[in-house]
């Protein structure tokens, strides 16, 4: 008998006049609608980034200002691959800390470079070595929300390595890349706006 109640309510909703149907609509909203204070919007997202979650595996990898002692000058980027953090050195013994994804075992590297170029929505051309490891990769991919380079890229010297965004934010805090430093798209946009071409980058 209880199974018939939803069906009967649906039939009655079709048969009753508009005023009664409005009351029934109110009942459904109260039972199954959003919680008080929340309004559902029919608007479309402004861009595809809004479809991509900012999920990270641990809150420690969220962007934040921290106390940081270093001999490097303000404006320097320090990439701590073992701790999965990128530090943008600030004045007064502080740094902006970002969670990052780094190279997997066998692809680690360290060194000092300068930011040689910056790109918004960079394209991606996988090198021959990567094609040899993963034959199914495209030869070229235009920049965009589905590109693994993400929303921004900072190129490091004359190397193939970049600090770039990702459409896989759950990999932040992990060692998964072929050598590049990955950040959430929101974080790499923030970093891109703070760091000029020529900035020093120290990878340890």
CA distance 23 to 127: 63
Catalytic residue among 47, 84, 131, 180: 180
| 164 tagged catalytic | yes
The bridge status of strand 200-203 relative to strand 111-120 is antiparallel
Spatial contact of 181 and 86, defined as CB atoms under 8 Å apart: yes
Q: Is 180 a catalytic residue?
A: yes
Radius of gyration of the chain (CA): 24
Residue 114: what are its φ and ψ, rounded to 5°? -120, 150
What region does 198 belong to: left with phi over 0, alpha with psi -120 to 50, or beta?
Answer: left
> Which of 200, 194, 196 is closest to 96 using CA atoms?
194
Dihedral (CA of 31, 37, 42, 47) sign: negative
User: Taking the alpha carbons of 113, 174, 62, 121 in that order, is the dihedral positive or negative?
Assistant: positive
Which residues are catalytically annotated? 164, 180
């Amino acid at each position: 008998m209880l199974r018939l109640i939803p069906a009967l309510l649906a039939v009655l909703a079709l048969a009753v006049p508009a005023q009664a149907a409005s009351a029934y609509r109110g009942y459904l909203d109260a039972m199954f609608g959003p919680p008080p204070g929340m309004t559902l919007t029919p608007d479309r997202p402004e861009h595809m980034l809004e479809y991509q979650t900012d999920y990270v595996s641990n809150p420690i990898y969220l962007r934040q200002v921290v106390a940081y002692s270093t001999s490097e000058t303000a404006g320097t980027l320090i990439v701590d691959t073992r701790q999965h953090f990128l530090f943008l050195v600030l004045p007064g013994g502080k740094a902006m800390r970002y969670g990052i994804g780094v190279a997997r075992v066998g692809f680690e590297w360290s060194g000092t470079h300068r930011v040689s170029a910056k790109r918004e929505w960079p394209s991606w051309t996988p090198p021959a070595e990567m094609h040899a490891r993963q034959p199914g990769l495209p030869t070229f991919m235009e920049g965009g929300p589905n590109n693994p380079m993400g929303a921004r890229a900072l190129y490091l010297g004359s190397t193939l390595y970049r600090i770039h965004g990702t459409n896989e934010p759950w990999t932040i805090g992990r060692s998964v890349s072929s050598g590049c430093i990955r950040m959430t798209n929101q974080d790499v946009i923030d970093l891109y706006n703070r760091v000029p071409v020529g900035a020093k980058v120290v990878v340890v």
